[in-house]
Copies of this chain bind each other. A is one copy, B any other.
Amino acid sequence: MSVDKEKFIKMLKEKGLKVTRQRLVVLEALAEHKDRHMTAEDIYDLVRIEFPEIGIATVYRTVQLLLEMQLVDRIELNDGCVRYEIGHQFSGETRHYHHHLICKECGKIMSFDDDLLEELEKQIEEKTGFHVWDHELKLYGRCRECIRDKE
């Protein structure tokens, strides 16, 4: 965690931006809940526990900044809510393939990593001339637990 924080601080300074407690606290909340895929409200609620004075506008502004810095990713699960998760890039990986398994029954979201789409990207580039930079894959279905509970 603290390594991530150092990186963030360095990046802020390089950009001539200020290192504020608000910014650090929002980043921490995201880093400590990689799995939760939080909305801005979720982050706000979490962050207020240790920083009650923070305003939700600051959370939105910080999340926006983190998106621009490519430290977090934005996900929409077609339920109308925008969610944020700490970028895989940030966790030390080279290219960030963040795919999601979304259970339509319990709403749980699982992440998984895979390189299978590189072949597909290559084919698309050859066929259409479209150059792929990044992709996002969502798989909807039923998770193991929900399948078991229904049997």
Contact = CB atoms under 8 A, between A and B. Distances in A.
A141 interface: yes
Given A76-B76, A80-B82, A136-B138, A143 B129 contact: yes
Q: Chain copies in the assembly?
A: 2
Given A76-B76, A101-B124, A141 B147 contact: no
Contacts of A128: 101, 110, 112, 144
Contacts of A78: 74, 76, 136
A131 B142 contact: yes
A117 B135 CA distance: 13
Given A76-B78, A78-B74, A121-B139, A104 B133 contact: yes
A89 to B, nearest CB: 15
Interface of A: 74, 76, 78, 80, 82, 101, 103-104, 110, 112, 114, 116-117, 119-121, 123-124, 128-144, 147
